[in-house]
Structure 1
Amino acid sequence: MPAPFFPTTRFTAATAPGALPLLGHAAALLRRPHAFVAGLPAHGDLVRLRLGPLRAYVVCHPELVRRMLTEDRVFDKGGPLVDKAREVFGNGLATCPAAAHRRRRRMLQPAFHRDRLPGYAALMTEEIAAATASWRDGDVIDVPAAMYRLTTAVTARCLFAAHERAGSLPVHESMDVVTRGVARRVLLPPGADRLPTPGNRRFRRAQRCLREITRRLIADYRATGTDHRDLLSTLLAARDEDGRSLSDAEVHEQVVTFLLAGMETTAATLSWAWTLLAANPAVRARLHTELDTVLDGRPARHEDLPALPLTARIVSETLRLYPPPWILSRTATADTELGGHRVPAGTTLLYSPYLLHRRADLFPRPHRFDPDRWLTAARPAPGVYTPFGLGARRCIGDAFGTTEAVLALATIAARWTVAPTPGRAVRPTRSSSLAPRPFTATLTHRVR
């Protein structure tokens, strides 16, 4: 085991207080999920939970998180949410076990090589400008919905650049139904997802729609054999060390994984950014100065990124406060230990970027929105700042996602002030993704 990055000599373990008969800690987790999880480090570095019949550890210390995420064969992808997502999405890069992950990661890595980013960014710039072209001064918009439509158009265009109207493909509604359905299915009793309820029927229709879209596009791309310099072309051209390509079913699994990651996480980040900027007018004024100097009202492009350091720091700070995948899970594949404590095979372990990012010993004044904390601070030690994970399973599209978020934030803020409706607190949804609940904002066209 590598030497710890922290001087802790003994890692503590404890059981979280407040368990109820039968339910255990599930009631507290459902009622106040984020506050409950953020308070667990006060009880120990490893905190035992009981969620109904399930026993789990929450890993609260960054050194233990680092070890768990870098030893991915011992602490493999697993847990109730991952298992249910695997049933729905298949073995995409985000859900497949470690045994399959290395082959797929090597095959898909060329799609996210840094040399590809300028091409993707050009498509992002076009779609961001198109998505906001109809905005008018004084419009009131549903911010999460508008950001979700924007990121859907961007992700679809980067996946299927050869499709003339990729941004208009009906993936928005289908992905929304499927992702919400997965979270609900974790809480349903066995077999309930097969009942002919309206919700289950909508879920199956959405799955069929996504399969049909990808089936047609895969067939079209294979028929032409043209490299369109998009993600789907790269998936179809990928070969492993034995020269084997991905099957159509495997391509579909990766496409759905990319859609999920590209749409939901970036939309949530942008939505939170508007609330944070509205609450911090001094930061917003500095952002406007940077954008007026660099962009002069035009959409942001890839070559502008080095000249937009404050915009990038705002994205980093938003991801610290509101990491979209806020709680994730692993499963021990063999009897092992973590922090000197025995972990039997099959144990579910949870970790939370939200919890880590709000520890006062890791981030001074952790609840304060301060993009300048990234200005002079040393690079956080592994396991401290984890919006994209860590190790071999770090998000393959991290640079893609941050590029999209910076370009979108810069392009919109250069022309618009997004002011959330006063008097209405913006709260997060109670789901596996830390997205805000629907809220409205008024658009004001900026006069420079």
Structure 2
Amino acid sequence: MPTRLFPTTRSTAATAPGALPLLGHAPAFVHRPLDFVAGLAAHGDLVRIRLGPLDAYVACHPELVRRLLADHRTYDKGGLVLDEAREVLGDGLATCPAATHRRQRRMLQTAFHPDRLPDHAAMMAEEIAGTTAPWRHGDTVDVPAAMHRLATAVTARCLVAAPERAGSLPVHASMAAVTRGVARRGMMPLPGADRLPTPGNRRFRRARQDLREVTRRLIAHYRADASDHRDLLSVLLGARDEDGQGLSDAEIHDHVVTFLLAGTETTAATLSWAWALLAANPAVRDRLHTELDTVLDGRPARHEDLPSLPLTARIVSETLRLYPPVWILSRTVTTDTELGGHHLPAGATVLFSPYLLHRRADLFPCPDRFDPDRWLTTAHPAAGTYIPFGLGARRCIGDTFGTTEAALAIATIAARWTVTPTPGRPVRPTRGSSLAPRPFTATLARRSR
């Protein structure tokens, strides 16, 4: 953990260099966001940036991020990135303000109780096996698209497990369009740009409306059925607060869309990066194959296999460190306060970046190297240093759900297939608020054990 001493006097955070007239740091933030944000740590623990007419502060030190996430009333959900996500997710658990979060979290906690995980994992395993069953030796696949289809199938199954669910969640294309729209808006600091009649904005609005209609039909069907299908939607409909009140249809809609988008996009991105990283590190891939051959002997992975697959788990952790799917987030300051000795006025936007923290050499030696074995000695990193799922009361409620899905998918696929990206085409990240790779192709080769 860095031990830089924070100033004890009330001061204003330094502004990052390189701001342009009128535009500020917006060009760098939009066109090379990862390099720009990761480089801010060299200019201080709390750095001020200008995004067109807007000012924002970036917390670059893990202790400041820990304080930021521990005090979710002073630093409430909102700001540049989350305000755009709220347009789609409403007041779902990922975006609702502190005033309603505790009630929502308690009501939804049952859905992700450890006792339910084996049931979820069984559904995950079925969908992973079914989605990859059509694969053939020598096929060339668009890896991010294939992983998005897989993650969509898993999330939809765990959300809606009713027997008649087939065809009830035609949301793959809609989720992709909505995700692109949120990512574009989160990285576009120009007020009013999201209201222009561009093709992208029109696709975004249509996709958002499609998601609303699908969830409306699902909620109506489940309320009429009144059965417990042991899925997430049944939990949402049966949840009650301390006063015995349930969730409204509008609240359930927001949670359904949040689960669909968050559960799909984060896992699809993690799996896509994992195949690229394993291909670039054949020694790690060979060790993974050995582990899987020993434990699985070619069959799909099950929940009870996971304790015997420690390297698989470390690969998931290391992929999330290098490429955290949600790489930048924002908070809104609700009252005048100080952070790291610097004054922050009410209404200010504070940004923090898991990508920035995960790439700090003082926290993770050789930070750009894919090294799953670093987690043999870093099993419990200090608070604020490793935050792919956030921290504190607002930590992602589905963190274990997501890592379980990723581990089952990697184990099941790698036990049967070698995924080799097309040579000569480097895998690069998209420019957006979600850290997914750009489309890339790979060849599938069936493994012989």
TM-score above 0.5: yes
1:189 deviation in Å? 5.4
Supply the distance in 2 between the matched residues of 1:270 and 1:87 (Cα, whole angstroms).
27
1:151 deviation in Å? 0.1
Supply the distance in 1 between the matched residues of 2:215 and 2:163 (Cα, whole angstroms).
12
CA contact (8 A) 2:159 2:231 kept: yes
1:232-381 mapped onto 2 (5 Å cutoff)? 232-377=233-378, 379-381=380-382
Supply the distance in 2 between the matched residues of 1:208 and 1:69 (Cα, whole angstroms).
32
Residue deviations 1:428-447, cap 9 Å, x none? Answer: 00000000000000000000
CA contact (8 A) 1:77 1:97 kept: yes
Supply the distance in 1 between the matched residues of 2:289 and 2:167 (Cα, whole angstroms).
29
Q: 1:218 to 1:341 in 2, by over 3 A?
A: same
> Could you tell me which amino acid in structure 1 is paired with residue 64 of structure 2?
L
Supply the distance in 2 between the matched residues of 1:103 and 1:32 (Cα, whole angstroms).
39
Partner of 1:25: 25
Q: 1:363 to 1:197 in 2, by over 3 A?
A: closer
Supply the distance in 1 between the matched residues of 2:177 and 2:238 (Cα, whole angstroms).
30
CA contact (8 A) 1:142 1:439 kept: yes
Partner of 1:139: 139
How many corresponding residue pairs?
444
1:188 deviation in Å? 7.6
CA contact (8 A) 2:52 2:189 kept: no
Supply the distance in 2 between the matched residues of 1:262 and 1:167 (Cα, whole angstroms).
19
Quote the RMSD (CA, aligned, Å): 1.6
Residue deviations 1:384-412, cap 9 Å, x none? Answer: 00000001100000000000000000000
1:146-295 mapped onto 2 (5 Å cutoff)? 146-166=146-166, 169-186=169-186, 187=188, 190=191, 193-194=194-195, 196-295=197-296
Residue deviations 1:230-276, cap 9 Å, x none? Answer: 00000000111111111111101000000111100000000000011
Matched position secondary structure for 1:57 = strand
CA contact (8 A) 1:147 1:270 kept: yes
CA contact (8 A) 1:138 1:443 kept: yes
Supply the distance in 2 between the matched residues of 1:280 and 1:10 (Cα, whole angstroms).
39
CA contact (8 A) 2:122 2:303 kept: yes
> Could you tell me which amino acid in structure 2 is paired with residue 217 of structure 1?
L
Supply the distance in 1 between the matched residues of 2:190 and 2:152 (Cα, whole angstroms).
32
> Could you tell me which amino acid in structure 2 is paired with residue 66 of structure 1?
R
Supply the distance in 1 between the matched residues of 2:115 and 2:388 (Cα, whole angstroms).
23
Q: 1:67 to 1:314 in 2, by over 3 A?
A: same
Q: 1:62 to 1:190 in 2, by over 3 A?
A: closer
CA contact (8 A) 1:178 1:203 kept: yes
Supply the distance in 2 between the matched residues of 1:147 and 1:168 (Cα, whole angstroms).
20
Partner of 1:8: 4
Matched position secondary structure for 1:316 = helix
1:33-112 mapped onto 2 (5 Å cutoff)? 33-112=33-112
Supply the distance in 2 between the matched residues of 1:438 and 1:408 (Cα, whole angstroms).
19
1:202 deviation in Å? 2.5
Indicate the structure whose relative CO is greater, using CA pairs within 8 Å and at least 6 residues apart.
2
Matched position secondary structure for 1:256 = helix
CA contact (8 A) 2:48 2:56 kept: yes
Matched position secondary structure for 1:317 = helix
CA contact (8 A) 1:30 1:430 kept: yes
Q: Bigger CA drift: 323-332 or 23-32?
A: 23-32
Normalising to structure 2: TM-score of the pair?
Answer: 0.96
User: Unmatched 5+ residue regions in structure 2?
Assistant: none
Q: 1:200 to 1:18 in 2, by over 3 A?
A: closer
Partner of 2:115: 115
Q: 1:163 to 1:217 in 2, by over 3 A?
A: farther
1:192 deviation in Å? 5.3
User: Unmatched 5+ residue regions in structure 1?
Assistant: none
CA contact (8 A) 1:157 1:166 kept: no
CA contact (8 A) 2:2 2:363 kept: no
Supply the distance in 2 between the matched residues of 1:190 and 1:10 (Cα, whole angstroms).
34
Q: Bigger CA drift: 217-226 or 140-149?
A: 217-226
CA contact (8 A) 2:184 2:433 kept: no
Partner of 1:418: 419
Supply the distance in 1 between the matched residues of 2:17 and 2:380 (Cα, whole angstroms).
35
Q: Bigger CA drift: 172-181 or 105-114?
A: 172-181
Supply the distance in 2 between the matched residues of 1:83 and 1:201 (Cα, whole angstroms).
19
CA contact (8 A) 1:156 1:166 kept: no
Supply the distance in 1 between the matched residues of 2:351 and 2:395 (Cα, whole angstroms).
16
1:197 deviation in Å? 4.5
Matched position secondary structure for 1:372 = helix
CA contact (8 A) 1:333 1:345 kept: yes
Supply the distance in 1 between the matched residues of 2:362 and 2:189 (Cα, whole angstroms).
38
Q: Bigger CA drift: 190-199 or 409-418?
A: 190-199
Partner of 1:437: 438
1:134 deviation in Å? 0.3
> Could you tell me which amino acid in structure 1 is paired with residue 154 of structure 2?
V
> Could you tell me which amino acid in structure 2 is paired with residue 352 of structure 1?
S
CA contact (8 A) 1:154 1:167 kept: no
> Could you tell me which amino acid in structure 1 is paired with residue 61 of structure 2?
H
Normalising to structure 1: TM-score of the pair?
Answer: 0.96
CA contact (8 A) 1:324 1:387 kept: yes
CA contact (8 A) 1:155 1:262 kept: yes
CA contact (8 A) 1:38 1:354 kept: yes
Q: Bigger CA drift: 7-16 or 269-278?
A: 7-16
> Could you tell me which amino acid in structure 1 is paired with residue 377 of structure 2?
T
Supply the distance in 2 between the matched residues of 1:8 and 1:189 (Cα, whole angstroms).
35
CA contact (8 A) 2:41 2:61 kept: yes
Supply the distance in 2 between the matched residues of 1:418 and 1:167 (Cα, whole angstroms).
30
Supply the distance in 2 between the matched residues of 1:393 and 1:112 (Cα, whole angstroms).
14
Partner of 2:395: 394
